[in-house]
Amino acid sequence: MIFGLNFSFLSKYWFYYADGLKVTLELAFWTLILATVVGVALGMIRVQNYKIISSIIDGWINFIRGVPVMVQIFIVYYGIATSLPQFWAAVVSLTVNSSVYIAEHTRAGMQAVNKGQMEAARCIGMSKMQANWYIIIPQAIKNVLPSLCNEFILLIKETSIVSVIAYTVNHRYRASFSSF
């Protein structure tokens, strides 16, 4: 007993927790990879001052940020992607949610780099793409990394919400849940 709590049940049911950890890490891994790619692309496009595209992306980001994650999971699983397996519906919905936050982190990180850096790179003959790739993005990564780590922590916590679409740990244990 630790602090008056009895943990003797862990020796009997440890495999439930191991399977739950495996599912959580799989969901977080795939979501983090996909959301990072989509979010960084959206954030970089948003910074480039393309008026129409930036306003569409801005509207999308504000819409997704205003809808709770649980509602997004319901919409993806029961509305849009009814033929997707539960795991991939959960990945898609969590990716959509996390990508808009990563886009905002990317945009803020790139805008935090001093404008003089771009001007100096352009003065020495770099194209805008070269200046972004070699000068702006490395500095933006330093600015964005702490908030991306926080987003990953939040994503780990959000994986528990996929239980609303009845995504179970492993179907072979379903019969023994009644004795739990």
Residue 93 CA to chain centroid, in angstroms? Answer: 9
pLDDT score of 163: 80
CB 107 within 8 A of CB 46: yes
Q: Return the percent helix, strand and coil in the chain, to nearest 5.
A: 80, 0, 15
Q: What is the dihedral of CA 175, 176, 177, 178, to 10 degrees?
A: 90
What is the Cα–Cα distance from 122 to 112, expressed in whole angstroms? 18
Q: Tell which wins on pLDDT, 169 or 21.
A: 21
- Write the CB contacts of 26 (distance below 8 Å, at least 6 apart in sequence): 87
Per-residue pLDDT tens digits for 130-140: 998 899 989 99
Residue 128 confidence class, pLDDT cut points 50, 70, 90: confident
pLDDT score of 173: 47
Domain boundaries, the chain: 26-162
pLDDT score of 13: 81
CB 96 within 8 A of CB 67: no
Mean of pLDDT values over 36-46: 93
Residue 168 confidence class, pLDDT cut points 50, 70, 90: low
Say which CATH topology domain 26-162 has.
MetI-like fold (1.10.3720)
Per-residue pLDDT tens digits for 92-115: 999 999 999 999 999 999 999 999
Residue 85 confidence class, pLDDT cut points 50, 70, 90: confident
CB 157 within 8 A of CB 6: no
CB count in 10 Å sphere of residue 127: 10
